Structure 1
Amino acid sequence: MKNILLFGAGKSATSLIDYLLANAPRQKWHITVADHDLMLIKSKTGKSYYATPAAIDIKDQTARQQLIQETDLVISLLPPHLHITVAKDCLQFRKNLLTASYIDPEVRKLEKDIEKAGLLFMYEMGLDPGIDHMSAMKLIHSIEKKGGQIFSFKSYCGGLISPESLDNPWQYKISWNARNVVMAGASGAIYRDKGKTREVSYEQLFDHNKTIQVPGLGKLAYYPNRDSLGYMESYRLENIATFMRATLRFPDFCEGWNALIKLGLTGEDGKVQTDQLTCFDWATRHIDGADKQAGHEEVMARFLGVSSKSKVIRQLKYLGLLNGDQINLGEKTDAEVLQHLVEDKLKMEPSDKDMIVMMHEIEFERRNMATRIHSYMITQGEDNVRTAMAKTVGLPLGILAKLLLQEKITLTGLHIPVMPEVYNPVLKELEEFDIRFEESFE
């Protein structure tokens, strides 16, 4: 019997837990799911003979380390800042570690020790990052194997809401961590475009509203990710002229979020006392000389330079920013208040379906002829629990866990999934779950 320890039973864990439990009888696994919320764990594992719930505080070193010592493989879906705690324990007790989160500077410091111990720490093994790396590298390696010289690489991904569930002016609902949505883009972006490094500030990020055409969906807006340049070396495309990774949204979302940035409602600098503070007074705190006696729509519209009947004003009204309701959350940052509002107003209803859209656009030259390849994937969720987001984040982790425990992958060190021995079997099995890419050439 092989033991798998999963830290975290939140939104992204649902499909992973389903996959592990479905494979447990045949693979002879037992899965321990650790989270601070016992009822949440039980809602995911049910009464499965192959699962054990472990309600622990992740900061409880004794409880945490005991679980790690007793397992064969650790998977972490904890908030990113907690991964280093688990990583150090895995190194100490010689356990392989899988996670969907980005490699951070702290775990980089452990890289030599991980390699020396003969362990595999696979980071960025979810959707974005994760499936994006694997599908992109499969394309890149295929092009290069046939003698193609890549000169432009663009990759887009978005966690969206399926068109039939779009019933609000934001064209968006929360299908994953709301804090990540609120903080997206806060550090600006950097990428390479036609041989030049482009830097975009947070204040400009949602303002340009560039679009791409996605088969079956039409135009989607995109904004570049924080640091595309950091992946040029990982993809072995250091000398490429254009390299950009970007996030997809329906166009209306970007316009509305740009208004929130202009209003100063997304920051984390300082806290405001929200008790007895109305939503409108909070939302207009940064508008100098605002005439609070004027109509709320007019105050906002005048500041933003839009019509009081515009779509943006409807979006702000939908979030509750124009009403007199009191916030009453105590001392909070603007970002925390905004997170509270979007979690309430943009939540998925039980019957809502989310949607993942991923698209790669690669231009290359072969035999003096330029070619552009489009590779795209669209997958839908079932409802607000078994979401496309949970499926695409969790399944790659589950599949890799199986391959490791079957000893079909013997890779060691600190890695992201850019190598054929990982991406080939994982992408192949993902197709069984209707996660597959279609390609077209120009």
Structure 2
Amino acid sequence: MIRSLRSSTLLHRRPVFSFRRDLTTLGLRREDPKRIWERRTALTPDAIKGLLSEPSQADQLQVEVESCGRRCFSDQLYAQAGAKIVPSLSGDVDVVLGIKEPPLEDVHKLIASGKEGKERKWMMFSHTHKGQTYNTPLLAAFLSPSKGQILIDHELLTAPSTGKDGRPTRARVAAFGWYAGAVGAGEALSMTGIALLKRGIASPLLHLARPYAAGTLAEFKASLRKCGEIVRSSPASETNGQGPIVIGVTGAGNVSTGAKEMLDELNVEWVKAEDLAGLRDAPNNRMYACMIPTSSYIVGKSGAAYDRTAYYKSPDQYKSLFAEKIAPYLTTIINGVGWSSTFPRTISNSDLPLFLGASDEGQKQKLVAVQDITCDKEGGLEFVNQFTTIDEPYFEGPGGILISSIDILPTELAADASAHFSSKILPYVRMALFPDTEGDKAGEEDTLQRAKIVDRGELLEPHRWLLPRAEAWSSNSTSSVSPDTSTLAQDGVKGVRQGTKKKVLLLGSGLVAGPAVEVFAARSDVHLAVASNNLSEAKSHIKDRSNVEAICFDVGDEIALGEAVAASDVVVSLLPAPMHPQVAKHCIDHSKHLVTASYVSPEMKALDQAAKEKDVILLGECGLDPGIDSMAAMRILDRVKRERKKVTSFVSWCGGLPEPSASNVPLRYKFSWSPKAVLTAAQNDAHYKMNNEIVKIPGDELLSRHFPEVKLWPELPLEGLANRDSMPYAEKYGLGEVEGLKDLFRGTLRYQGFSTLLESFRRLGLLRSDLLKSVPENWEEFLSLSIARQVGYDKALRGDEVSKILSELIGGEKVQSDALKALRWFSLLPSHSSNSISSIPLPNLRSPVPIDLFAHLLSHKLAYQPGERDTCLLHHSFTLSPSSGEEGKEEKVTASLLHYGDESSSAMSVTVGKTLAFAALRVLDGQVRDRGVTGPYEREVWEGTLDSLESVGVVVKEEWN
């Protein structure tokens, strides 16, 4: 904007001149694209329009809005309000406004794009001020040497208020609590309808749409009123002993208020906590609800009545009777009361028997649904041990209870929630933009100041205790000394490295490396070195990533390998399993951790004591199989243990296959990982227990003794092979003695026909691991030499001899026919087919080994073509019985994964590579205390890794029946 200096004094003293005054710029962020349901916005278009039209600042302000097609208000509405729609915020932005925390790379990019030292305010729910480890890198990004950055947390915007006891306090001025409660109530009601149906009861709640389907708060309220009318107009009916629907709401803040108002729209009948027991025989064409005060279930351990002041002063002197006095009479719990570790849990896992199953009076379990709006994982409701999403809103918990724990509930009514939040936050956004605005703004200025965590790159009190953590994560620190990490670690877990970037050495750059690199590169505090003897392949993983480098060296060079290991914090090996002991020894010598996706071999296990002496973990089996299979099993078994049940059968299947449309090839198989590993695995000895019988299968009989039909997914014609030795898993998984198990089995899935055809190839000598006596000149000679050795010939067979001996080695007319077709398709036998692979040369091997040659051929011929996808399958089946001396029925539990690849990454590379990387990051961050040679059997490995996998769409679904 052009201004002229009009002072008459200046006009006489110097020439008139004009200048442009810098505009103040507000930047409204799009939310993290990874949060696909996050549709809220911090300011509505109307609020933007109001800001831009205020006379005092209309010519001083401009607004940039990042384009977003997901947001509840369109780009067009913001443009009509006067905002400039941009693909990303510019470096000129003075105030950056959003809801949730932004992606870390966006923060770094925006800071780097502005002028050096530019003062910029960031306003968001940063989730940093409680020391949340997962967001410590975000906090560090705002600190020195970044200059001028100011972090203001919405959660800390508080203004003077009056508490329930009449005493002065401070209350949050901008929050979504009411909408979380309102939407949470809607989710709870919808889930209750489904839960009751599972118990054979059809309720009008079954037809209640979830809040997001209503679109607006007004429409959602209307649907609640209609549902309530249907309930009241329906005649009382048989409830299978369930009685009327009774909903309990805990908490006394905005969350519970929002839930209560929605229940009012449903026209429930409100009762007091002491009246709940009397509702057992009430008519079921009424719905009841109860606001459950803390005083109704918290009592002193000495028997003293609840006293609020004394309770908050000494919570350890109190206990909860919720499971005994309240839960047995509720159909649904809507939990809106927060929890911290110093307070008694509302319901602990040890309390569950008090209301699960039948009661002493013969009453059936009434509780069917729990909506935990607080999302305190294993918190006040200890059995709530998973987070859920809007896509998959609930899981089945103890006693078949459906449990929901969604952390972004308000976004289901995004426009209404945003309008409410916008009206509350607007005065503080205005103050952030124009702190020198005239008028009485002392209260708002004080509120804004109290909400600052970082001011111009420095942590403020009372947040300075976070500094050691932030410094530990800082990617800009120049210190080469690693300080003590105990302040960063949780529960006494000691970290790996601080000060400079944490260094990961990735050995291998092949088929599954890409997704692993993606995970590591997303962490700005990590520097990744991809080491390979194929430098161009290693460089292909760098792309535009500044924290990834490629190193060319041969792993057989012991000096180079030792130097690379010594320069790292954690080594991740994608090398063939036989190479792991060599790498592990260097890791032990240099006190570095190692993570692999391979089975723990006897050679690795022999290094256990040496690793423990050097305080090193050599963590194996962190891929798909082994890896996710064990992690998923351990998650189920953790719950089994907590519920004091016993496993009587465990059957597990896992495999990687092409999607059906891509499987019309010999073997009905394509390779998304090492072909030799697949061929080798098909010849391993197997040992398992099935139907109370111990079975041992020699490796040369494994294919012929396959399981011809495995019915898991109706659309997939599957067969299976026993997978190695299943017996040690009784101890690994804590299943008890093998004698007490009916089944103990782990198997590999393939499409039907795979095993019979591969057995034919085995009989022809194509899977042998010993040297041929001469080097074949072409693929037909390779087959001839292999077959000749099988029948004792010293040289290659003639053409007519090949066909004759083929029929002798392969029995059965159909089997012979299928084998001949496949051999011609592979051009191992003469054929006029257009599928000739004469263009594929034999590898230049001085020592020709059949399995190596055959694997090379298959890797080319059975490679995935553009547009084709693979899929990874996993299915666990457990049979449970009550512990000895306890009554109860047998229970079936399953865990299943069906994950498809896409154009960017195969399912195999994702499930192996990302699992490996997420597990390695837990080691890197000091979250794994175990040492020595081990697999992912401890909670500190499997829990966080599975959570991380679920965040990228690799989800193992559990069903408890």
TM-score by structure 2 length?
A: 0.43
**Match of 1:263?**
764
**Match of 2:898?**
378
Which sits farther off after the overlay, 179-188 or 129-138? Answer: 179-188
Q: Provide the C-alpha distance between the structure 2 equivalents of 1:362 and 1:212, rounded to a whole number of angstroms.
A: 16
How far residue 254 of structure 1 moved from its aligned partner, in angstroms, is 1.5
Q: Provide the C-alpha distance between the structure 1 equivalents of 2:590 and 2:829, rounded to a whole number of angstroms.
A: 54
Q: Provide the C-alpha distance between the structure 2 equivalents of 1:168 and 1:191, rounded to a whole number of angstroms.
A: 31
Contact 1:95/1:119 (<8 A) preserved = yes
Q: For residue 154 of structure 1, give the secondary structure of its aligned residue in structure 2.
A: strand
Q: Pick from 224, 228, 235: which aligns with 2:726?
A: 228
Q: Pick from 791, 795, 811: which aligns with 1:304?
A: 811
Contact 2:652/2:876 (<8 A) preserved = yes
Q: Provide the C-alpha distance between the structure 2 equivalents of 1:21 and 1:206, rounded to a whole number of angstroms.
A: 41
Matched, 1:154 2:661: no
How far residue 74 of structure 1 moved from its aligned partner, in angstroms, is 1.4
Which sits farther off after the overlay, 130-139 or 108-117? Answer: 108-117
Structure of higher RCO (CA pairs closer than 8 Å, 6+ residues apart) = 1
| Unaligned stretches of 5+ residues in structure 2 | 1-500, 832-837
Report 1:96-245 matches (<5 A).
Answer: 96-210=593-707, 211-215=709-713, 217-237=715-735, 238-239=737-738, 240-245=741-746
How far residue 259 of structure 1 moved from its aligned partner, in angstroms, is 1.4
1:219 partner amino acid: P
**Match of 2:511?**
11
| Unaligned stretches of 5+ residues in structure 1 | none
Contact 1:272/1:334 (<8 A) preserved = no
TM-score by structure 1 length?
A: 0.91
Shift in alpha-carbon separation, 1:250–1:128, aligned structure 2, 3 A: same
Matched, 1:320 2:827: yes
Contact 2:756/2:815 (<8 A) preserved = no
Matched, 1:246 2:756: no
Matched, 1:419 2:938: yes
Q: Provide the C-alpha distance between the structure 1 equivalents of 2:944 and 2:586, rounded to a whole number of angstroms.
A: 29
How far residue 42 of structure 1 moved from its aligned partner, in angstroms, is 0.7
**Match of 1:401?**
920
Q: Pick from 61, 84, 89: which aligns with 2:558?
A: 61
How far residue 320 of structure 1 moved from its aligned partner, in angstroms, is 2.3
**Match of 1:29?**
526
Matched, 1:354 2:870: yes
**Match of 1:278?**
781
How far residue 288 of structure 1 moved from its aligned partner, in angstroms, is 8.4
Higher strand share: 1
Q: For residue 101 of structure 1, give the secondary structure of its aligned residue in structure 2.
A: coil
Q: Provide the C-alpha distance between the structure 2 equivalents of 1:305 and 1:107, rounded to a whole number of angstroms.
A: 43
Identity percentage of aligned residues: 26
Which sits farther off after the overlay, 266-275 or 122-131? Answer: 266-275
How far residue 283 of structure 1 moved from its aligned partner, in angstroms, is 5.8
Shift in alpha-carbon separation, 1:148–1:316, aligned structure 2, 3 A: farther
Which sits farther off after the overlay, 192-201 or 353-362? Answer: 192-201
Which sits farther off after the overlay, 346-355 or 329-338? Answer: 329-338
Contact 2:684/2:702 (<8 A) preserved = no
Q: For residue 121 of structure 1, give the secondary structure of its aligned residue in structure 2.
A: strand
Matched, 1:332 2:832: no
Aligned length: 437
How far residue 435 of structure 1 moved from its aligned partner, in angstroms, is 1.1
**Match of 1:364?**
880
Q: Provide the C-alpha distance between the structure 1 equivalents of 2:640 and 2:815, rounded to a whole number of angstroms.
A: 51
How far residue 157 of structure 1 moved from its aligned partner, in angstroms, is 0.8
**Match of 1:83?**
580
Q: Provide the C-alpha distance between the structure 1 equivalents of 2:798 and 2:554, rounded to a whole number of angstroms.
A: 48
Contact 1:292/1:299 (<8 A) preserved = no
How far residue 309 of structure 1 moved from its aligned partner, in angstroms, is 8.4
Q: Provide the C-alpha distance between the structure 1 equivalents of 2:920 and 2:860, rounded to a whole number of angstroms.
A: 35
Cα deviations by residue, 1:244-276 (Å, 9 ceiling, x for unpaired): 111110012112112112323211234142126
Contact 2:772/2:785 (<8 A) preserved = no
Shift in alpha-carbon separation, 1:92–1:353, aligned structure 2, 3 A: same
Q: Provide the C-alpha distance between the structure 2 equivalents of 1:66 and 1:246, rounded to a whole number of angstroms.
A: 40
Q: Provide the C-alpha distance between the structure 1 equivalents of 2:698 and 2:916, rounded to a whole number of angstroms.
A: 33
Q: Provide the C-alpha distance between the structure 2 equivalents of 1:339 and 1:213, rounded to a whole number of angstroms.
A: 29
Q: For residue 429 of structure 1, give the secondary structure of its aligned residue in structure 2.
A: helix
Q: For residue 249 of structure 1, give the secondary structure of its aligned residue in structure 2.
A: strand
Q: For residue 753 of structure 2, give the secondary structure of its aligned residue in structure 1.
A: helix
How far residue 441 of structure 1 moved from its aligned partner, in angstroms, is 4.8
Cα deviations by residue, 1:280-333 (Å, 9 ceiling, x for unpaired): 53464336899953895x864564321488444333332223227798666522
Contact 1:155/1:361 (<8 A) preserved = yes
Contact 2:869/2:900 (<8 A) preserved = yes
Q: Pick from 929, 938, 941: which aligns with 1:410?
A: 929
Shift in alpha-carbon separation, 1:401–1:341, aligned structure 2, 3 A: closer
Q: Provide the C-alpha distance between the structure 2 equivalents of 1:111 and 1:294, rounded to a whole number of angstroms.
A: 53
Q: Provide the C-alpha distance between the structure 2 equivalents of 1:308 and 1:164, rounded to a whole number of angstroms.
A: 23
Shift in alpha-carbon separation, 1:300–1:363, aligned structure 2, 3 A: same
Shift in alpha-carbon separation, 1:346–1:328, aligned structure 2, 3 A: closer
Contact 2:757/2:815 (<8 A) preserved = no
Q: Provide the C-alpha distance between the structure 1 equivalents of 2:569 and 2:792, rounded to a whole number of angstroms.
A: 59
Contact 1:74/1:97 (<8 A) preserved = yes
Q: Provide the C-alpha distance between the structure 2 equivalents of 1:17 and 1:206, rounded to a whole number of angstroms.
A: 36
1:379 partner amino acid: H
Q: Provide the C-alpha distance between the structure 2 equivalents of 1:401 and 1:291, rounded to a whole number of angstroms.
A: 54
How far residue 229 of structure 1 moved from its aligned partner, in angstroms, is 1.6
Q: For residue 626 of structure 2, give the secondary structure of its aligned residue in structure 1.
A: coil
2:745 partner amino acid: M
